[in-house]
Chains A and B, each alone.
Chain A
Amino acid sequence: MLNNSYSFLIILITLISSLSINSQEKDEAFKDSTEIQKLQEVVVSVTKIKRQLSSLPLPAQIISNKEIQNTNSIRLSDLLNEQTGLITVSDFGGGEGIQLQGLDSQYTLILIDGLPLIGRSAGTLDLSRINIGNVQQIEIVKGSSSSLYGSEALGGVINIITQTPKSGFKSSLNYSLDTFNSHDLNINLSSKKKKLGIILFINKHTSDGYDLLSDDFQQTVEPFKDYTLNTKLTYSFSEKTLLTVSIRNYLETQNNVASKSLAGKSEINEWNNLFKINHFFNKKFESTFEFYITKYQAEEYLNDLNGNLFSKNYFDQALLKSELRSAFSINKKHAVIGGIGLTSEQIDRMDFIDAPKFDSSYIYLQYDGYYNNNTTLIVGARFDNHNVYNSQFSPKAALRFKFNNSFSIKSSIGHGFKAPDFRQLYFNFSNATVGYTVLGYNAVSKIIPQLESAGQLASVFIPVSNFNNELKAENSISYNIGIDYKPSSNFKLDINFFRNDVKDLIDTQIIAQKTNGQNVFSYYNVAKVFTNGIEFNSYWKLNNNIAVSGGYQLLIAKDKKTKQDYKNGNIYARLNPFSPSFQLNKNDYFGLFNRSRHMGNIKIFYNVPKWNLQANLRITYRSKYGLSDTNGNNSLDKYDDFVNAYSLWNIAINKTLNTKYKLGFGVKNIFDFKDSQNISNIAGQLIYGKFNINL
């Protein structure tokens, strides 16, 4: 019954789908009807300045601090998994990356206060390392945003806005304990007096981890502990000049177990340091200078039973970024923002041919205009110049037209790109046990002749001369067109059609064969893929105490060449090893791996004012998907093995005891869903309790 997609869809259709509840609406839902909140939701990720969310011409969404509180979410991954069209997917290293509009984690830029996070060991940025205890709101922009943010923003942007000091002194303490002996402790201190504001956030998180397969020597997630420390200092030199200094440090230590006799530790040490000055020249003109330096260091080692070092691995990345931008409001209806910036990025990693460095400079300009009281237009473009890959020009345009107060249409089109990463260029890795080799694109011309002269190559399939040109950046054009329908303040429905056409996707190919019979792989621009689909979001306030939201995404994501191969009858499959192979047709092609055709969520928020109690039930659903090809044709067809559809049911109950204390209780994954073979990041049922003190 749990996995029954039909019953889910029926519920979904009945309730209609929805945008995740955002603060304003929730405030409305839980306020007395006589008391109308005038606060407008403000988003900064779309224009780099504060911008009212409701009139934006492109798909953007806010997850408010209130939703984080109500759902008792601790990690960014917990929260994003409950948003329509978003799902975190584990890579083979265990990192949980986000999939957005059917595009992989490496195509979504993750920002904290507008500045990028680094440390993508295999393209995935692990979202479970981001604690959200000090988050003001999370902004999600769907569709290519390279016109403002450059590389990686091909699919979209997730911007985590942390709290800033507010007048007076505030302190809070949060503690939660859950099933896996996980303790999460937050302390937030905030003070602002006249010119100086300071905020201090400390988080300690420890867990015993969990094990889905009990018969082996290692756990699915080994015990770990981590610390997040974030200090933010603001100083107003005058009413016109504001200085912000922010320092964030994340430390993680986890057991590392490779076999019965090999064990050690893995460590992550991440720094994000920001120095920022805002200056308002006058009411119309403001400038911001940002200097940002971030470092991500990961290290792991294994010792044998005698305590001797067996292996050590390191990954050391640093990014330096400075940007100067100015916003000019011509009048209340027209604004221009422009910026220039420099970035410098370095990596030192095992199995690299050298310690490479990327330097790039960029310039962008964006216009935001409002016409006739019903039309919003945003046009912008960014030019990125880079020392290693080809320059990129990324334009974007978005238009919204309001027919009346309840109905509007919005559409956007944009170019997005993702630069080749260090691994795709400089990797030089040979597997010690099996014997295959993976070479980065720029490593080929150096390493292949070395292997050849060492007599290790049996034959070369792709000549080295093919690697003289640059590896191109992956690039895409994204289209979004949608409607917003809000017939009353109690009901809202958004529908958005999206399509991303990605080309020059970087894939691996076999370039040579070694004398040991194994292959040499390298990267190349080949694939063209598309993702398209429809997203529904709806919100319905039944009365002052009950609100329901629902969301649904239909997704079709395919490789264009593979699709053609199916159409041409070049793809075969075999039902089992006894049976001969048979030809597949175009309807048999399911699409890219790890994509579910249907994803949805339903959330019911219930408020009991007389008990000061808030409760909610959140259900997320994911239809079947394939993780790998199981019948030998290198693509996912309907005869392959699939991971079954599943749904996760979560409840949270929070009670406020006078204004200072709050008690929370909840169950995540009530029905204890697990798929130990295929899904490593769903631990099973999790019961937690928490309390919160606000002073």
Chain B
Amino acid sequence: MKNFKLFILLLITITGFNSCSENEDTMTLLPVQTKQITNLHAPQSGGQGQPVSGDFVKFNFTTGETTIDNKEWDIAFRGTSIIINGGVSLGTNDEPNRNGEAAVYIASGNMASVTDIDTTSFLQDSQSNYAILTGGGNGWYNYAGPPTHLITPIPGKILVFKTHNGLYAKVEILSYYKNSPSQPDAFIDGTPYYTFNYVYQPNQGVNGFE
């Protein structure tokens, strides 16, 4: 039994060394993660002239899931606003404090064409603006105005994020309406239900998504 334990230990050590040496030789990295999140529900209260409130729904790219942790989150959603865990709070009601190094910029292209990361373009939330500007046409969405009042993601806009712990992810938002209807109706379909595709680069120090 003792020998067996020793054998296991030896085996682990050897494979460990092996993998280490392999890493050094051919730079084997963790695979890039591609995932779709559907119907992430992030309601807000107030709006339309009234103060906005309600909890932001936080999301962590590493786990690929929403979280209630106050530190380990990358981006958070409330209504049409998307904030990042980096910079300073705009000071709205119920807005979480920033304690990470997250940042963002909006690239033109699609998920396939945005492969490099331009680290000089990153912005963080500030006292006057979120890094992803709100308002139709300013950030990630268009607002159709009357009569349809539809909120639709601007095609060709890829949100490139730096996570709270310095890794990268790119996001294409697909829909703001529940179950991503092909002909959304702002008066019938539930909001805000985010559906988005993302690609996460889990390797530290790799400035790209390939």
Chain A residues in the interface with B (C-beta under 8 A): 433-436, 458-459, 510, 513, 516-519, 570-574, 576-583, 628, 631-634
Contacts and interface: CB of A to CB of B under 8 A. Distances in A.
Nearest to A517: B134
A634 B142 CA distance: 9
B28 interface: no
A578 B177 CA distance: 11
A570 B47 contact: no
B99 to A, nearest CB: 23
A568 to B, nearest CB: 10
B80 A577 contact: no
Contacts of B108: 570, 572
B120 interface: no
A633 B154 contact: yes
A99 B127 CA distance: 48
Contact of B180 (A510, A572, A577, A583): A577
Nearest to B176: A577
B145 A434 contact: yes
Contacts of B88: none
A514 to B, nearest CB: 8
Contact of A577 (B79, B142, B144, B184): B184
B172 A583 contact: no
A658 B73 CA distance: 91
Given A517-B52, A570-B108, A581 B142 contact: no
The 10 closest A-B pairs by CB, nearest first: A572-B156, A581-B155, A572-B155, A577-B175, A577-B180, A576-B182, A574-B155, A519-B135, A517-B134, A632-B152
Interface of B: 47-50, 52, 79-81, 90, 108-113, 128-129, 133-138, 142, 144-146, 149, 152-157, 172, 174-175, 177, 180-182, 184, 195, 197
Given A433-B48, A434-B145, A572-B155, A581 B172 contact: yes
A583 B47 CA distance: 34
A580 B113 CA distance: 12
Q: Which of B90, B154, B172 has its CB near the most chain A CB atoms (within 10 A)?
A: B154
B89 to A, nearest CB: 13
B47 A516 contact: yes
Given A458-B128, A632-B154, A513 B48 contact: no
A417 to B, nearest CB: 29
A432 to B, nearest CB: 9
A632 B153 contact: yes
Contacts of B79: 517
Contacts of A583: 109-110, 113, 156
B156 A516 contact: no
Contacts of B142: 632, 634
Given A517-B81, A572-B110, A458 B129 contact: yes
Contacts of A518: 135
A633 B155 contact: yes
Contacts of B182: 576-578
B174 A578 contact: yes
7 contacts: A572-B110, A572-B155, A573-B155, A574-B155, A582-B155, A583-B156, A631-B155
Contacts of A577: 152, 174-175, 177, 180-182, 184, 195
A661 B11 CA distance: 114
Nearest to A570: B108
A571 B156 contact: yes
Nearest to B36: A578
B36 to A, nearest CB: 10
A303 to B, nearest CB: 22
Given A572-B110, A583-B110, A435 B155 contact: no
A572 B146 CA distance: 23
Contacts of A435: 48-49
A196 to B, nearest CB: 55
Contact of A578 (B136, B155, B180): B180
Nearest to A514: B135
B142 to A, nearest CB: 5
Contacts of A513: 129, 133-135, 138
Contacts of B197: 580
Nearest to B175: A577
Nearest to A572: B156
A458 B109 CA distance: 28
A633 B155 CA distance: 6
A582 B48 contact: no
Contacts of B175: 577-578
B155 A434 contact: no
A458 B81 CA distance: 14
A513 B129 CA distance: 9
Nearest to B129: A459
Contacts of A578: 174-175, 180, 182
Contact of A516 (B48, B110, B149, B180): B48
A459 B142 CA distance: 19
Contacts of B149: 434
A540 to B, nearest CB: 46
A523 B134 CA distance: 21
A516 B134 CA distance: 10
Contacts of A634: 137, 142
A234 B177 CA distance: 67
A519 B136 contact: yes
Contacts of B172: 580-581
Contacts of B157: 572, 581
Contacts of A574: 153, 155, 174
A583 B108 CA distance: 10
Contact of B156 (A433, A510, A519, A581): A581
Contact of A510 (B80, B137, B154): B137
A572 B157 CA distance: 8
A571 to B, nearest CB: 7
Contact of A580 (B110, B133, B137): B110
A518 to B, nearest CB: 6
